[in-house]
Structure 1
Amino acid sequence: MTVPVAITGLGLLTSAGEGAEATWRAVCAGVSTAAPDPALTGLPVDFSCRVPLSENALDQRVGRTAWRMARCTKLAVLAAREAVRDAGLDPRAWDGARVSVVIGCGLGADAVRQEQGRRLEEEGADMVSALAIPMILPSMAAGEVSIDLKAHGPSMAPSTACASGATAIAVARDLLVSGQCDVAVAGATEAAISRLVTTGFWRMGALSQRTSAVTEASRPFAADRDGFVIGEGAGVLVLERTADATARGSRPRALLVGCGNSSDACHPTATAPDARGAEAALRTALTQAGLAPHDVDHVNAHGTSTPLNDAGEAALIARVLPHRPSVTAPKGVLGHPLAAAGAVEAALTALTIQYRRVPPVANLHSTAPGFDIDCVTKQPRDQHIRIAVSNSFGFGGHNVVLALAEAS
């Protein structure tokens, strides 16, 4: 059984806006943030869930170092600042050597990569930015957050596709438990909505094609779901050992009590049909926490709105958790922010526990036939949640499940 750690701070930038509370209000409202995207005009799928901040607005918020950052890095820096403020910590006063940063990223700065490639081919080598490589690196979000927060402890950048955010949180927990740091700033970021990436997902059949009704496109666990809506965002959590949080008078939003990781070792993009890898991750998270399946009150589902993922996940939940805990899926509102999804959803799970309210699944009126799970629909459900799990699954067969508990 692993020692639980406290979640003392949250920071979110999503298609619902700036700040954890803005995202929380949006998912509770249950209305999709999908909108036509001018940058995707002319493509078979021309809509997305973007963070509603222009590059100029992001630059103003980040400050004087923004010029050297890609969009995904800016999002991570702002989310990390919010999380640290929310935790009641001050980077000017802490021992930076005891602070770790673990920020996952999947595709990195794809827009920078494409623009610099265009400059090389059309304008010549002298027009390629000297900062092209550091801006493109998926690890640079973790690096810039460390610089911004003056955090000199371990700095890492897990990349497990759409499970990256959850992987980062699990790694950060291990750093705390092993004594390598006293504070961990952990999460993930992604800003990869481009013509190439969107077309790539469309070509593999992963995206919804409801171009005439974009706000109805993402519909996790619905019978007529046809794919996800590409999104972007960043989610960051501050983790501390519970004793340390208590000693400084912090009131945790929730506790992280278990983490389970596994690999399907099956297919590069498709989830394993029997979801046995995901089941192993779920059971490991519960075992670490000293819990049994019947202890779980709530599931924050990966819920992408794709036919295969939702079917496999619904079967997994029904098989391992037959007592039918409440289920939500934030991607109905926020779209799929790819690598950032697991961190955003872990933060929302903590808020669900804290506020004792389960957000509804957007665009879902009733679950698909054969899905024996209790999805919350149409409006939030008030519920006292003691234990919740947050599922994250990524290309490559990466499975991560986080178990969270109510803070006493």
Structure 2
Amino acid sequence: MSVSTPLRYVFVALAVLISLHYLLSFTNETYGSATSLDNIKQQFTGAETNINLPGNTAGGSPLSHNGAANPSHDDVASIPPSHDSAGDILPPHDDAARPPYNTPVPEDYYTGAHPSPVGRKANAVFVMLARNGDLENAVASIKQMEDRFNKKFKYPYVFLNEQPFSEQFKARITTITDSPVEFGLIPHDHWFQPDWIDETRASAARAEMQKNNVIYGGSLPYRNMCRYNSGFFYRHELLKPFKYYWRIEPDVKFFCDLDDPFLIMEDQNKMYGFTISLPEYPATIPTLWNTVREFVVANPDLVSPDNAMDFLSDDGGETYNRCHFWSNFEIANLDLWRGESYSKFFDFLDEKGGFYYERWGDAPVHSIGAALFARKDQIHFFGDIGYRHEPFQHCPQGEAHKKGKCWCDPEQNFDREWYSCLNKYDALFTKS
């Protein structure tokens, strides 16, 4: 019996969709993380080990049947959204328990009690880690940043590379900005795999991950980058004069005109800012949470009393829900990483070798560090910054979209996808 023409088209469409899914899964780590079967399974079953951590606000027992700590698809999707006057999505709680980003910055913030942004700047810098081969994508990102924000403020840029930047790279970048630009060489010991790593063990781990199609699982340079971003970039000589930084990646998009987010960080004593959050790919961090627990149990005095543990864990620290801030965008206070707590934390992680024996990423490491060593109210969601790093984007909503003259489609917004972790951030401030 032959297949009818309409049914044949259905099969063709399904084949195309499945092919696109697998292409993204194998070429984009975060898409693969969010859509992997392991990820979906763990959303229903939970996983990892059982122990309480000090400094959290939740109880130590699992929150759902069969020890499952993570919410199901229905749990996340059933959160009834509402909106404030700025169009931001709000959980169904009273005004006193709203997430901080739902309190709009006063209109006279820059023109009333405070000087104008032209006359007042934070001690801040843009940072991009790039190679000479990233030139075209780097130019595209910086040009958007200049057009949407920095041509008004002229914050400086620092570009970092493990090899010297070419004259062509320097010329193209300095052509598109009037701001100060510096190009730095990463010290050899900060970038390359340290000698004390057992290369036989590390290469076996890479081969196994590559065999299992783990994104960047076979890549040593990717591991070098993750370790560098986790514990070394902020030590570079060119960053020592600055207090705040905004990390920019090649080939990202900025959709909206902005006022000065650095001043928000400074005036409101924020330590870490993000736009997108989602679960980490589980195959890359099998022992990370055990290592975190080991550190915290040995150093409870380093953990902030009013921390954001509940963003990381649904059962008071027994297990890791794998939520992390997508660190390809981050605005942060460098003192967070330079401080005693994070410095000891990173050194402890580094000594375990998980950056090479597994594939620990800087996103979960930074996220866990920020959540444990800053107060929860010092972590800020920049709802007014339109941003895209393939394949996800945050697009401001309502009045924020109009005020920023955003060119993104507000319907294309990752915030309330069921595998977004923004609801867990919101819950930090809306729990009774």
TM-score by length of 2: 0.25
Higher radius of gyration, 1 or 2: 2
Q: Which structure carries more strand by proportion?
A: 1
Q: TM-score, normalised by structure 1?
A: 0.26
